[in-house]
Amino acid sequence: DAEITQSPRHKITETGRQVTLACHQTWNHNNMFWYRQDLGHGLRLIHYSYGVQDTNKGEVSDGYSVSRSNTEDLPLTLESAASSQTSVYFCASSDGSSSTDTQYFGPGTRLTVL
C-alpha cells in the first residue's frame, strides 16, 4: 500500500547542530508539506513543494530549509538547531491535480533540542 513515512520518529540533538528529518511518500504525489505542531498553535506550515526542484516558504520557515530532488522525498533541514525548534514535525503530501486534494500525513517526528 502507498504510504508516507518519516524518520527518525524521535530525535534528541544539541543546540547548534545541523539536523535533517526525512519524509518519503510512495503515492507519487506532486505536493509535499512540512508542518510543526506546538501546543496552542495547532499545525503551522514550514515549507512546501509543488514538484521536483520547487520549494516555497511557509508561515514559520526561518531556520529551516528543504530540497526536492525527486518526487518521493522532501527532507527538512535545521541548519543550526535551537531550543525553540523543539516540536513535533509532520510531513504531508497531496496529489496536486485539483484544488480539492486531500493532504495525507505521516506519523510525525518528535524533535528535542537541548
Partner 1 sequence: AQSVTQPDIHITVSEGASLELRCNYSYGATPYLFWYVQSPGQGLQLLLKYFSGDTLVQGIKGFEAEFKRSQSSFNLRKPSVHWSDAAEYFCAGYWGAQKLVFGQGTRLTINP
Q: In the complex, which residues of this chain contact partner 1 (CB under 8 A)?
A: 31, 33, 35, 40-45, 48, 50, 58, 90, 92, 94, 96, 99-108
Nearest approach in angstroms of CB 68 to partner 1 is 14
Of 26 and 80, nearer to partner 1 (C-beta) is: 26
Of 73 and 101, nearer to partner 1 (C-beta) is: 101
Nearest approach in angstroms of CB 15 to partner 1 is 26
Q: What sections of the chain are H helices per DSSP?
A: none
Of 61 and 79, nearer to partner 1 (C-beta) is: 61
Strand extents, DSSP E, 14-105: 19-25, 31-38, 42-51, 54-57, 64-66, 76-78, 87-94, 104-105
Number of H helices, E strands in the chain: 0, 11
